[in-house]
Structure 1
Amino acid sequence: MKKHENSIAGRTYDSSDYKGNDQISSGLAETHEQVSDAYMEGEIGGKIEHPDGTNEDLPR
């Protein structure tokens, strides 16, 4: 493995990270998904809104 491929400094998420086979790509893709989910769901006391219009409390 080349040294520059193993460096995380300065690297940001790219949609191609979902298809990457290295640890950094998979880590960035997973972190991006977690942040995206948290952002879309809103605050900690929020509710999960289902497409059928029902709401579900977020488990604590």
Structure 2
Amino acid sequence: MKKKKQEENKVAEKNYEPSDYEGNSQIEQGLAETHEQVSDGYHEGTIDRKEGKED
């Protein structure tokens, strides 16, 4: 049970790192993909943005 808790803490404490794009673990790949999705959404803006409006 203690080993499982240690693994859970390791996952919970992990933050995105640029090196995650080259990582092999499921955690690294997931963080890289999530970072890319959030970044794309941030740069694209929201759907309610008016046409032709310059940001």
TM-score (norm 2): 0.67
**Structure 1, unaligned runs of 5 or more:** 48-54, 56-60
Q: Does 1:13 align with 2:16?
A: yes
The structure with more helix, counted as a fraction of residues:
2
The structure with more strand, counted as a fraction of residues:
1
Q: Render the CA deviation track for 1:1-31: whole Å, top value 9, x for unaligned.
A: xx65x83111110000000000000000000
**Structure 2, unaligned runs of 5 or more:** 1-5
Q: Which structure would you say has the larger RCO, counting Cα contacts within 8 Å and 6 or more residues apart?
A: 2
Corresponding residue SS for 1:13: coil
Whole-angstrom CA distance in 2 between matches of 1:46 and 1:21 = 38
Whole-angstrom CA distance in 1 between matches of 2:49 and 2:24 = 35
Report the aligned-residue RMSD. Answer: 2.5
TM-score (norm 1): 0.62
Moved over 3 A (4+): none
